């Protein structure tokens, strides 16, 4: 009489392959589920940095001081000639409606950023926050010589 050995269960190699597949899938899901409010803030900050540098260049070319001010629902550039502002098509709203400019520590309004016309301006900064998640913030600053840039870390 011959006995056939039937195996039950999985081999160690099969279990390792399954565990590796599960680990890769969960890592992919983790990367796919990014913090959308922080991404939106970073996108608005990068866009604002580009707009500030554009207005700064226009100020140096025209010789007229340009100021950037935060408004209740966005921001505005003051000092550009009406024709120049129409040509520039400078936006006045954030890409994400939750983005806003953080209040200063004393509760006063955020001061205007002076963008020129001198090639070297005073160091300036602005902090963007999320309305729905006030703990999220991004700091945008210049030392007066280099362009505005998004700074890593807390404000």
Greater pLDDT, 9 or 123 = 123
Q: Looking at residue 82, what is its pLDDT? A: 63
Of all residues in the chain, the percent with pLDDT exceeding 90 is: 28
Which pLDDT does position 34 carry in this prediction? 64
Tens-digit pLDDT profile for residues 20-78: 999 999 988 877 776 677 888 889 999 999 999 988 988 888 889 999 999 888 899 98
- Tell whether the torsion through CA atoms of 43, 47, 48 and 50 is positive or negative: positive
- For 36-151, CATH number? 3.55.40.10
Q: What angle do CA 85, 89, 94 make, to 5 degrees?
A: 115
Q: What secondary structure, in 3-state letters, does 6-22 show?
A: CCCCCCHHHHHHHHHHH
Asked if pLDDT for residue 103 goes beyond 90, the answer is no
Domain ranges across the chain: 36-151
Work out the average pLDDT over 120-144: 89
More confident position, 84 or 142: 142
**What tens digit of pLDDT does each residue of 83-100 get?**
544 455 678 899 988 898
Token duo for residue 131: 């309305």
Mean per-residue pLDDT over the chain, rounded: 83
User: Running DSSP on this structure, what letter comes out for residue 104?
Assistant: P
- As a whole-number percent, the residues of the chain with pLDDT over 70 amount to 81
pLDDT at 85: 46
């Amino acid at each position: 009489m011959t006995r056939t050995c039937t195996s039950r269960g999985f081999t160690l190699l099969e279990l390792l392959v399954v565990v590796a597949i599960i680990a890769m899938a969960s890592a992919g899901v983790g990367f796919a589920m990014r913090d959308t409010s922080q991404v939106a803030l970073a996108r608005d900050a990068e866009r604002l940095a580009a707009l500030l540098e554009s207005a700064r260049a226009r100020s140096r070319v025209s010789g007229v001081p340009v100021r950037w001010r935060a408004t209740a629902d966005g921001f505005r550039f003051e000092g550009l000639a009406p024709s120049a502002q129409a040509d520039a098509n400078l936006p006045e709203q954030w890409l994400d409606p939750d983005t806003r400019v953080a209040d200063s520590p004393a509760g006063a309004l955020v001061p205007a950023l002076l963008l020129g016309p001198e090639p070297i301006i005073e160091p300036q900064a602005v902090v963007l926050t999320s309305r729905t998640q006030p703990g999220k913030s991004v700091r945008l600053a210049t030392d007066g010589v280099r362009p505005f840039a998004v700074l890593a870390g807390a404000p």
